[in-house]
Chain A
């Protein structure tokens, strides 16, 4: 028994479709060149010198005490942030799914909390942390009269990262809790178990793999985070910042490559653990949809403390975000609270704000439709088509999720500054806007692809088959059937890509040339100099842009996105 003939015929049919073959070839080339190759070159760089293969670079790097310290620092922060975020996320999710919230206000708070990290640049909390609790922080200096508080270092990073990342855990845990069949818990209650006991013996074991999953996802985010440790880390260096300094400060390219390889290995390990072990497990125990509505907890002794705790946390997070626009409106933060527009004026008059916004805006605007389209094409290929290279395409586009921006940045420097494999091929790319756009695309591709894949899985395969059967080729099927059916996912992918691009920093900061001024890079620069007024002004406008983009998307989806109706049927 051999399946050779069908394989043969399938191949023939496949190659009878030139548009698809070309698309796949281009995709493979793109993924190889801009994701695999830069990572491979890091390996080559750190293992091979002029004298041939060697471990000397690694030996040198591991000999640096500051690098060894950076590794422990990073892991420590990641561990704490992972645990804290997962637990706070669980708390929020539990309160939303299980507890009767009396007021609209609470619901609103929850929504804002889940929304904020989406629209804001990932590092604004560091700014507000400094402005609230730093040496001239409003809370420390004015309310508590502490004049020498230092927010820089381990706790600063840990708190800021936790507050930044826990909403993601909250959304993940919410999805899981909603899928728990209420009758499981009610059965335990019937047998006389207390609420706490039910939580510990039924609910928690059910979501434990999911909690582990949330922990790992946050862990990876924390390890890969560059901007927060940069702004609030002080002398507490993490891997991302150490690598950055190694290349921008010490100009040690081999060393930085070797360090990047170490960082990549850590995140890859975590990623594989998360993807292949916990992700599958986290939903395996939960059997689809809950059979009926849950009886919400009304018991005041439970609801009061939980909702107060959540509200306080939520208000605190919101306060921190609000701090940013105010930072841009006060004359001198911490000393002179007269309202002023001088920072905004300075942004545009002195610091070429307009150019910064234009550059960031235009580059992101170019990158986002390409990203959205690419991720839809990849999802379509992965979900709906059968071909040999499919596994490769899926794996590599997901792999990008595990690659920290800093690692990618170093890879691009090493891989493209002298052309591909130092041959000069594509050297023209280096230092241009095009390479920035490519980085934006690569950084947002995994998120878009993931959402595209889950949207496509819901569409009955025979709808596309019927179009194919009526005479449409793959390209037509994609354009006239697939894409219209996942319009929502496409639109939100578009905006997500835009927001992620315009708020990106870690890879970009290594690759940007003076020719381009990017907002995030400006914010980082001013924050480091201690010019918080300017940094806040930049950040405020940036948040305004991203928030409008998200609003616009919601409007568009509300008016034109009807795809939800027919996905259900």
Chain B
């Protein structure tokens, strides 16, 4: 349906703001380079204030970068105003035009493009069908539920068949259930329309669920970029590992290293590792990243531990154990026929060598 899928490229983009209090300049986004492929769904993910919105607004044209150039479909667009850019944004607050009904909201951009009436009507009707709002054309925006308003905002952006769709936390005003169904919807529509999408959120499960690629940002810089699996299984920093999902960090020392195999010393215990990709040599300090669901508590295993919390959660048993003086979380799934350890029990943390990621 889209005329032409367009990629977005950011080359060494920085944005400097002035702190209103101290009057000092600071980098809200610093030296960020991204290459977003045509037709892909890319999510900017990061804690509050890390520069996601700023990046998105630079792509939309509301803010101008202080360094670097932005390309849309290969064209540099730095000097273009938002109305001249082939982008369409879905705002967090929806930003529907409150004095227009649904039809006119969706038709607004088309009218500006001087399409004839019949064509506008056809396009609007089609897009409203796509987002599941047919028959609601005459309603005013304040007669819609949050989810419906959200869909109007989406339809309004989609109908323009933009090169890129931009979303700034579009689901954050919805309740948890609706959030899940709307994100599936957004993904479906994006794939159906085959449109490039840049999506901002600070909800990591949302990011995992809908993205082809996730870009993790920290304090204005890109911390890591990759598919959800890459980011989850091979985080390149503690920040990323901690931000995406839950992670235990075990400090240790490489004892030996042989290609992708190795042995580390953690708290006096030898831990065999495989699938190593990092540069650590024997003798280097290292940090083992262990996901809670990748480990179990057992009578034997790699790391001796003491249980300090044991809690039945239905689908899993939730343990907190001490390995030396490091607290480790373990979620042991499907606990029905397993031995349950109680607080105070001595046991072992057990995991597969490949499910540990080493930093």
Contact = CB atoms under 8 A, between A and B. Distances in A.
Interface of A: 1-10, 12-13, 16-17, 460, 462-463, 465-473, 476, 480-481, 484-485, 562-563, 565-566, 569
Nearest to B149: A569
Contacts of B99: 481, 484-485, 562-563, 566
A16 B61 CA distance: 13
A285 to B, nearest CB: 21
Given A466-B89, A469-B82, A5 B66 contact: yes
Closest 3 CB pairs of A and B: A566-B98, A9-B64, A470-B109
A3 B16 contact: yes
B81 A17 contact: yes
B120 interface: no
A467 B98 CA distance: 12
Given A6-B16, A467-B108, A476-B112, A13 B98 contact: no
Interface in B77-95: 78-84, 87-89, 91-93, 95
A565 B180 CA distance: 30
A4 B25 CA distance: 12
Which size class do B's interface residues fall under? Answer: 35 or more
Given A3-B25, A462-B95, A469-B88, A565 B142 contact: yes
Given A13-B79, A467-B108, 8 more contacts: A6-B64, A8-B64, A9-B65, A465-B82, A466-B156, A467-B97, A471-B84, A566-B98
B67 interface: yes
Given A13-B79, A468-B82, A485 B66 contact: no
B25 A1 contact: yes
Given A6-B16, A10-B64, A466 B83 contact: no
Interface in B98-151: 98-99, 108-109, 112-113, 141-142
15 contacts: A1-B25, A3-B16, A3-B18, A8-B64, A9-B78, A12-B79, A13-B80, A13-B81, A460-B93, A462-B93, A463-B95, A465-B95, A467-B108, A469-B87, A470-B109
B63 A470 contact: no
Nearest to B69: A5
Contacts of B27: 1
A9 B142 contact: no
B97 A481 contact: yes
Residue from the set A4, A465, A470, A566 with the largest chain B CB neighbour count within 10 Å: A470
A460 B91 CA distance: 11
Contacts of A465: 62, 82, 89, 91, 95
B60 interface: yes
Contact of B156 (A5, A13, A470): A470
A6 B95 contact: no
B160 interface: yes
B15 interface: yes
B142 A566 contact: yes
Contact of A6 (B15, B92, B97): B15
